[in-house]
Amino acid sequence: MTENKTKILLILLLVLLQNLTFGQVNKFEILLDSSKAEFKKDFEQQNFSKVVIWLEKAVAIETENTEAKYFLGYAYSRLNSKDGESMNKLNPELTIKASEQFESVNKLSTKYLGEIISLDPYYKITSEWGSLALSYLNRNEKDSANWALKEGRRRGGFGDYILAINRKVLDACNENAILISSGDSYLFPILYLQKIEKYRKDISIVNVSLLNTFWYPSYLRKNKIVSFDLAVETLDTINYMKWKDTVITISDFSWTVKPSYYNYILRSDIILLSLLKENKFKRDVYFTKGFAKNTQVSLNKYLSLHTIVDILNVFEEKDKRKDFKESITDILKLSNLININSSDDISFLDSFRTYIWLKAYDYLNNKNIEKAKNLIEILDKYANENEYLYENEKLKEFSNYIRDEIFK
């Protein structure tokens, strides 16, 4: 009888433990799924204070779940600053908390395979510390800015490949040029190169997205990075405005600026136009890759397309680009610096592979088979797809098609 009671108690205990375990797992999934749903809400409805509480509980249940940690890092980041407007008031403690989660993700699993919000954990570390550095620079705290950049590098951001690519970006610009950038992948690595490595400090980098904020143009003006033809009061207050096709003339160059958003142009468009008017093409103007056409104040058809930057080429004699084969080879030689566990590093490589396959496709259509073969051989030599797997599956399919057509 006693033995039977013992067996029954053991069975009941096992059932209880199973139920508790199931309950914990179920609770974890609810917390994580609820947090993911919050990220997908409209901007005004997102509540990241709530998300942080949920995800801290989730991570306490599953301490090595990389997806929960990744989302918790993003939640801390969004709690610190939901948009570019609030980026100038970052709290370093929240930056550290966010960074620690992404660092933990990278330690637990060298390649993060969970759902991506925008950037992979490696690039998000760069973004966190680069944003903090820019926030410090806006407050004229230069030593703190340098600390933030070095700390970001120490913690796993500012990878070798993205720094090397951005050195090439700077090298492609003429002396004392203005470089209009799009996205974190140019602004923060170049900030690191200029502030920490003292590399090509003659170049003025301007992030077009941040021109929409009410602090960044003022920062550029106060630090004499670029100048504007708008009065300070206007620069600090002007917002989007109704717009119709309008001819703009600067020196001897005229073009038609179209609305960029329905029947409007944005604050960033107005300020970029002000920058160009004040500059009067005294300094060469370049654009990084990755721009949407409606974010270049209708200048896209006047850009001379280079491998790694585009130059606003209003005067033909200033276009001194290298041969495509030579310039793309220079870029591909940097592939040995790629972190193959970083999806954003591979995405950068894919952007260059796209140029190569499009060029090979053009050669194919014009019956220049040997030129196409030579280009593909260079690609295979420095960035073999068996070692650097494609991040973009459509590009992989496109490359297979061209390769089959050329080598059949």
Could you give phi then psi for residue 19, rounded to 5 degrees?
-65, -40
Task: Examine the pLDDT at 6 and tell me if it is beyond 90.
Answer: no
Residue at 255 is within a domain: yes
pLDDT score of 22 = 45
Structure-token pair, residue 399: 């490359």
Q: What is the pLDDT of residues 113-139, one digit of tens each?
A: 999 999 999 999 999 999 999 999 999
User: Is 253 in the same domain as 227?
Assistant: yes
What angle (nearest 5°) sits at the alpha carbon of residue 142, between those of residues 136 and 147?
Answer: 80
Q: Could you tell me what percentage of the chain is helix, strand and coil, using 3-state DSSP and rounding each to the nearest 5?
A: 60, 10, 30
**342-392 residue pLDDT tens:** 999 999 999 999 999 999 999 999 999 999 999 999 999 999 999 999 999
For position 98, what pLDDT does the model report?
Answer: 98
Query: In this structure, what token pair is assigned to residue 60?
Result: 């306490």
238-265 pLDDT, tens digit per residue, is 999 999 999 999 988 999 999 998 999 9
Tell me, what's the pLDDT at 294? 80
Last residue of a domain, one of 295, 321, 347: 321
Are residues 144 and 185 located together in one domain of the fold?
A: no
Helix (H) or strand (E) holding 49: helix 48-61
CB proximity list for 103: less than 8 A, separation 6 or greater: 121, 125, 155, 156
Last residue of a domain, one of 110, 130, 154: 154
**Can you say whether residue 228 is alpha, beta or left, with left for phi > 0 and alpha for psi between -120 and 50 degrees?**
beta
Structural domain including 356 reads 325-407
Q: What contacts 276, CB < 8 A, 6 or more positions away?
A: 250, 285, 297
CATH number, domain with residue 130: 1.25.40
How is residue 361 annotated by DSSP?
H
How many residues are recorded in the chain? 408
pLDDT in tens, 305-335: 888 999 998 755 444 556 888 999 999 999 9
pTM for the whole structure: 0.90
Domain end (from 134, 154, 174): 154
Nearest to 148 by CA among 161, 163, 132, 137: 132
Does residue 264 belong to any structural domain of this protein?
yes
**What is the rounded distance in angstroms from the CA atom of residue 277 to the CA atom of residue 296?**
14
- Residues 301, 222 share a domain: yes
314 & 342 share domain: no
Cα distances (angstroms) measured from residue 368 to each of 307, 326, 365, 406: 20, 18, 8, 10
204 lies in the same domain as 293: yes
Question: pLDDT tens across 138-174, in order?
Answer: 999 999 999 999 999 999 999 999 999 999 999 999 9
Per-residue pLDDT band at 292 (split at 50, 70, 90): confident
Same-domain status, 223 and 343: no
How does DSSP classify residue 83?
S
- pLDDT tens for residues 24-82? 558 999 999 999 999 999 988 999 999 999 999 999 999 999 999 999 999 999 999 99
Asked if residue 343 and residue 278 are part of one domain, the reply reads no
Residues 314, 182 share a domain: yes
Mean pLDDT of the chain: 91
Highest mean pLDDT among 80-89, 161-170, 287-296: 161-170
Helix (H, G, I), strand (E, B) or coil at 249: strand
What pLDDT is recorded for position 21? 45
Query: In this structure, is residue 138 part of a structural domain?
Result: yes
One domain for residues 173 and 311: yes
Q: pLDDT at position 322, please?
A: 65
In a domain, 246, yes or no: yes
Q: What is the DSSP letter of 280?
A: T
Q: Is residue 200 part of a domain?
A: yes
Q: Is residue 7 in some structural domain?
A: no
Query: Is there a single domain that holds both residue 274 and residue 143?
Result: no
Token match 């496109």: residue? 398
**pLDDT one-digit tens code per residue, 199-212:** 999 999 999 999 99
pLDDT at res. 3 = 62
Say how many domains are in the chain.
Answer: 3
Same structural domain for residues 362 and 220?
no
Residue 6 inside a domain? The answer is no
102 and 234 part of one domain: no
Tell me whether residue 116 is in a domain. yes
Two structure tokens written together for 337: 């610096």
Per-residue pLDDT tens over the stretch 353-367: 999 999 999 999 999
Strand partners, 254: 249
pLDDT band at 184 (very low <50, low <70, confident <90, very high): confident
